[in-house]
Structure 1
Amino acid sequence: MTSDSRTPGLSRRGVLAGAAAIAGAAALTGCGSGPKKAGPGTTGADALRQALPRYIPSSSVAPDIPGVAGANGAASDPAFLSYPANPARTVASPPGAGGTYVTRTPLWGAIPPSDGNSYYEAVNAALGATLRMQPADGNSYVDNLPALFAAGKLPDWTQIPSWGNQKLNMGTAVERFVDLTPYLAGDKVAAYPNLANLPSAAWQAGVWNGKLYGIPSFSSPNSFPGYFFHRKDIVDAAGLSADVKNAEELFTLGKALTDAKAGRWAFDDLWPYLLFPFRVVSTWNADPSGKLIHQYETPGIVEALNFAARLAKAGYVHPDALAGNTGAGQQRFWSGKVVISGGGTGAMDGDDAKGGRAADPNYVRGAVKVFDAAGGTPLIQLGSGAGWFSYLNKNLSEAQVRECLAIANFLAAPYGSAEYLLVNFGAAGVDYTMKDGNAILTERGQRDVATSYQFLATGPQVSLVKNGFTEVVRDYAAWQADAVKYATRPLFFAMNISEPSQFGGIGQQVEDTILDVRTGRKPVDAFTAAVANWRRQGGDELRRFYEGIRDKHGTGQ
């Protein structure tokens, strides 16, 4: 198998990032603050500009398909069809000074051996330092972090994904970590060229209380939560097209693709990505008068619910999807039982193609072009540049902090560099070999190499060949190049807002009702009633809280 910076768990990353971004444009953390002022964590635009590192793009490696600039700061990922034959070196000498540091990172997959691990040995030798990698089960990773905080047993270097912010009360928890502003803000980042090569948006959600704490991983200038995918082979064989221009064309396509007697339905679960065509791309929105309204209160969500219910009642949605059996969704898609499904953008890669071909030799995944339900100009939500951040323990000395940043600079080397090849594949001839211009893990590499160092720091994401599926890269690059034209930043874009804890559960009854309405079990009036109840239970008070944030700190636009 071929591995890359999106190895074990990072297709899952695409799904998780999508769920997190749809749930809210801001990174929300719970605290006990009153509803009329921002609690710990919030940063205004002026303070943010002072804390962010300056973006200094690298020209050390040229992609086969360059990224394309889009709207609102979005850009498609550059794409590579093979690894450069002569990888550039971006770090002249080992960055470490002989230090030893304990790390903690998540991992989805088998935990590799720590003793006699050729991968760890090769990377640490090149670093000139020892990182004691302690990957932990990604499924329970965030749940286990509070105990480490409470016991005061944080390692030297810790990865905290964005969906852990609320559980950890990151607005105040960051006091346990090093303020990196004096080391990296503005031009100071130039001392670390690979870190400077990370877009400014990648750092933004790592800023808390006006100070930079987080080092980003898996950053991307587009960071789309997800969209719709289709079985291109099935659609093509039927003489149809998935490039719909509006919701009615999607409905008509659903009718043409559904054959329940043959065990095939047009759609799996399209929610929450169905919100985008109906122009719901932000949790909070300003109406024409300037009043903030929640996405629950927008006309678009009612239209999206009515359309989803219409698909369900017409019989175009797979029964298991309607029953909430999401775990088998990928298998339904691979086997052709459904033709169109919603999902995170990380789902479209060579690993998916390999799994799909095992289920159906004709399998080809395609991405539906971004469209508007009414046939107007499309919109797609632009997420923050990164959702994964690593933090350094504040007990480290200044010399140790600088050593760790130099190591992070090595780990953040761009795709196509000699350093990236080492960090992601280990030792040449031991952990991997090259085939058809791409690295292939050996049997030992499959045992020892795991996504671990990458959770501490990585270069910007790129599209690349996995398992030999070159056309997947070309197709995804083309979809991104089109989608970035319609990217829009949600209100409170990438702002770390500490939302008062009393509002934590008030939306659950609305979400439960949304499920019942979009699957056709309840009328849309039930949703309207649930929203009215949400307002009484604290929604209006939460609105005033966000209006206070806007008045004091702006909206991140």
Structure 2
Amino acid sequence: MSSSLNRRGFLGAAGLAGLTVAGGSLLTACGSGAASGKGGAAKSAKVKLPTYIAANVAAPDLAGNADGLDPAYLRYPKKLVKSVAKTPGDGKPITALTETFTTAPPAMGRNAYWQELNKQLGSEFRMTVVNGLGDEDVYRTKLNALTASDDLPDLVWFPPNQGLKNVPQLLEARFHDLTSYLSGDAVKEFPNLANIPDFAWKTAVINGKIWGTAVPYGRFGQVYVANSDFWKPVGGVRFDDAEDFLAKGKDLLDIKRRKYVLEPAYVNHVHMFSQWYGAPNWWSLKDGKLTARYETEEYLAAIEFALKCRQAQLFWPDPNLRTTLEKMGGGYLGAHVQSFPGLLSDTKMYDWPMEIIVPFAAESGASPKYNLGIGSVGFVGISKKADKSRVKTLLAVMDYLNAPFGSEERLFLGNGIEGTHHTRTKDGDVALTPKGEGEALTTFDPLQFLGNTPETLYTPGKPDVTRSIHETQTELLKIAQADPTIGFYSDTYAAKWQSLRSELEDDIKDIVAGRKPLSTYKESLKKWLRDGGDAIRGEFEDAIAKGNK
């Protein structure tokens, strides 16, 4: 069982979207951004983020770096540190709202992992776990209901991509401002929170205040994952250009055997192709002026190439395919788009050979790029249902939940009780037991949206896979580009981005599917710019100009 197996849609979006924070009543509409409320952009730009202090754990076998390269361990560290000095809880129950995207965990009363978690925390940890598998509205609906009934728990996860709206107003009314506890050197009281990088903390800053503990996520966003065996008959996962990719795909297509080449997620593939042509991340910045990915010739070329692939029947014919990983493993699909953490999870659970397609030049003269993500899956707020006198206790609990890889706490959080949920092999690797798969993984999945460790590469029993992924990360970083708007704020973005994006990308799906001609994209883009794209551009440009003074 994989704790990330069914989270690929959620986590993939995390690399592409910010946090919704628009205004209105309750949490009922779409949006995306990192800060809002009128004038929130200017206020948030002035906030002093928590001081970063790297965790003192065993050195990795393969080093990471500040550019986003993840540290890698070929074996699980034998010498673990204790990252939490004392039991963080106060003996009183702690309530929390989170979500899972896999099998729900067994109830606390029959879950040895959960019971041990309570002992480790020193408080009974009462999680309300919403199962979002197959229903993107369920978490928003639950949070709306708890807000309306004035029954919010102590800890609430604010995800980055589920259309939550009115977050600034909700935070001001119902949540503790944590700026004084976390800004600058104040975070040193909570060493594991200090180990969270700056880029993750930016998503927790709204209207000039830090409203929660950031949930870290690696810098790598979506990746194009191939089954190496699938491509062997045409020379492997190596392509001269886009037309070579198309030609080799046609050679491998076997409709009679239900053997296709690409999963049917059209817009995700357009994103991958756009990197081959050298399109920007979400935006490019030149001389203080922003250009959106959508309005570039490179992105249009990617749509056109996706249309060619669909016309050649390379995509799986059923757009509602729910067994992509099984089809990939069985040799019935050759490539799919995955979130990077999803890939890490898949390598632990499947044995078919996964290989990332490093972006290559789509045509002569193209400069391929790789798009980095935002590095966070939201933040966790502390509601005013918890008395102010208890805030530091709850932050200490969050400090435990954010324990680093290489610590005793992280070994337990990710794998449960040794001898019950996992064993250690002669090489020191961690091997889950059936009880570990049934309890530890299913309980850890919702826990990791309340607190996580900065991304670390480790594939149990597969050191060669870990080394290969680290090498691929190194190659991707050579052509990586970040979104230049990260760390800056636009109120219109917060209010409208998700709906604007959804409407335009629905049109792109229709074009690739053949329901609309390619020529309609020009008008769709004009509407996107008119409805908010131009306003977002202008606000980001102003924020960037002020931030660079």
> TM-score, normalised to structure 2's length?
0.86
**Cα drift, residue 454 of structure 1:** 2.7
Q: Where does residue 360 of structure 1 map in the other structure?
A: none
Q: Where does residue 333 of structure 2 map in the other structure?
A: 338
Q: 1:181 aligns with which of 179, 182, 204?
A: 179
For residues 337-386 of structure 1, give each alpha carbon's deviation from its aligned partner in whole angstroms, at most 9, with x where no partner exists: 2212222223323645644x4xxxxx311111132323544322222121
The answer to whether the 8 A contact 1:48-1:204 is kept is no
Mapped partners of 1:203, 1:530: distance in 2: 34
Mapped partners of 2:188, 2:86: distance in 1: 17
**Alignment pair present for 1:426 and 2:416:** yes
The answer to whether the 8 A contact 1:382-1:490 is kept is yes
AA of the residue aligned to 1:420: R
Change in Cα spacing, 1:215 to 1:505, as seen in structure 2 (3 Å) is: closer
Map 1:84-163 to 2 at 5 A: 84-107=77-100, 108-139=102-133, 140-163=138-161
Mapped partners of 2:537, 2:391: distance in 1: 36
**Cα drift, residue 518 of structure 1:** 2.0
Change in Cα spacing, 1:296 to 1:348, as seen in structure 2 (3 Å) is: closer
Change in Cα spacing, 1:553 to 1:533, as seen in structure 2 (3 Å) is: closer
For residues 432-476 of structure 1, give each alpha carbon's deviation from its aligned partner in whole angstroms, at most 9, with x where no partner exists: 32235233333443443212433222221212124x343332222
**Alignment pair present for 1:454 and 2:444:** no
Q: RMSD of the alignment, in Å?
A: 3.0
Mapped partners of 1:312, 1:346: distance in 2: 28
**Cα drift, residue 64 of structure 1:** 2.1
Mapped partners of 1:193, 1:218: distance in 2: 15
Q: Where does residue 169 of structure 1 map in the other structure?
A: 166
**Cα drift, residue 101 of structure 1:** 1.2
For residues 296-322 of structure 1, give each alpha carbon's deviation from its aligned partner in whole angstroms, at most 9, with x where no partner exists: 32212211111111222234x1341xx
Q: 1:19 aligns with which of 13, 16, 26?
A: 13
Q: Where does residue 541 of structure 2 map in the other structure?
A: 550
Q: Where does residue 370 of structure 1 map in the other structure?
A: 359
Q: Where does residue 227 of structure 2 map in the other structure?
A: 231
Mapped partners of 2:362, 2:117: distance in 1: 50
**Cα drift, residue 96 of structure 1:** 2.6
AA of the residue aligned to 2:306: A
Mapped partners of 1:524, 1:402: distance in 2: 56
Change in Cα spacing, 1:28 to 1:133, as seen in structure 2 (3 Å) is: closer
Change in Cα spacing, 1:127 to 1:503, as seen in structure 2 (3 Å) is: closer
**Cα drift, residue 290 of structure 1:** 5.6
Q: Where does residue 513 of structure 1 map in the other structure?
A: 507
Q: Where does residue 215 of structure 2 map in the other structure?
A: 217
More displaced 10-residue stretch of structure 1: 412-421 or 259-268: 259-268
For residues 4-51 of structure 1, give each alpha carbon's deviation from its aligned partner in whole angstroms, at most 9, with x where no partner exists: xxx52x3444432323444x4x43433359xxxx95186557844633
For residues 211-259 of structure 1, give each alpha carbon's deviation from its aligned partner in whole angstroms, at most 9, with x where no partner exists: 1112122422x2x2212111112323x2513233532332333234334
The answer to whether the 8 A contact 1:51-1:210 is kept is no
**Cα drift, residue 133 of structure 1:** 2.4
The answer to whether the 8 A contact 1:431-1:441 is kept is yes
Mapped partners of 1:448, 1:41: distance in 2: 45
Q: Where does residue 251 of structure 1 map in the other structure?
A: 246
The answer to whether the 8 A contact 2:398-2:450 is kept is yes
> TM-score, normalised to structure 1's length?
0.85
**Cα drift, residue 401 of structure 1:** 0.9
Change in Cα spacing, 1:182 to 1:353, as seen in structure 2 (3 Å) is: closer
Change in Cα spacing, 1:310 to 1:161, as seen in structure 2 (3 Å) is: same
Mapped partners of 1:469, 1:13: distance in 2: 23
**Cα drift, residue 268 of structure 1:** 2.9
For residues 173-218 of structure 1, give each alpha carbon's deviation from its aligned partner in whole angstroms, at most 9, with x where no partner exists: 2222221110111111112111111111111111111111121224
Mapped partners of 2:500, 2:490: distance in 1: 17
SS in 1 for 2:261: strand
For residues 517-539 of structure 1, give each alpha carbon's deviation from its aligned partner in whole angstroms, at most 9, with x where no partner exists: 2234443112123333445xx43
The count of residues paired between Structure 1 and Structure 2 equals 523
The answer to whether the 8 A contact 1:119-1:425 is kept is no
Change in Cα spacing, 1:81 to 1:40, as seen in structure 2 (3 Å) is: same
AA of the residue aligned to 1:109: T
The answer to whether the 8 A contact 1:353-1:365 is kept is no
AA of the residue aligned to 1:235: W
More displaced 10-residue stretch of structure 1: 195-204 or 50-59: 50-59
Mapped partners of 2:146, 2:190: distance in 1: 30
Q: Where does residue 318 of structure 1 map in the other structure?
A: 315
Mapped partners of 2:189, 2:212: distance in 1: 17
**Cα drift, residue 336 of structure 1:** 1.2
More displaced 10-residue stretch of structure 1: 77-86 or 263-272: 263-272
SS in 1 for 2:21: strand
Map 1:295-444 to 2 at 5 A: 295-315=293-313, 317-320=314-317, 323-349=318-344, 351-352=346-347, 354-355=349-350, 357=351, 363-374=352-363, 376-436=366-426, 437-444=428-435
Mapped partners of 1:281, 1:64: distance in 2: 33
Q: Where does residue 31 of structure 1 map in the other structure?
A: 23
For residues 69-96 of structure 1, give each alpha carbon's deviation from its aligned partner in whole angstroms, at most 9, with x where no partner exists: 3xxx532211222222232212232223
List runs of 5+ in structure 2 lacking aligned partners. Answer: 26-34
The answer to whether the 8 A contact 1:195-1:459 is kept is no
AA of the residue aligned to 1:251: L
- Percent identity reads 27
Q: Where does residue 272 of structure 2 map in the other structure?
A: 273
Mapped partners of 2:438, 2:506: distance in 1: 42
Mapped partners of 2:495, 2:78: distance in 1: 53
Mapped partners of 2:237, 2:38: distance in 1: 43
AA of the residue aligned to 1:230: A
SS in 1 for 2:404: coil
Q: 1:464 aligns with which of 458, 466, 471?
A: 458
SS in 2 for 1:348: helix
SS in 2 for 1:97: coil
Change in Cα spacing, 1:525 to 1:497, as seen in structure 2 (3 Å) is: same
Q: Where does residue 259 of structure 2 map in the other structure?
A: 264
AA of the residue aligned to 1:210: G
Q: Where does residue 192 of structure 2 map in the other structure?
A: 194
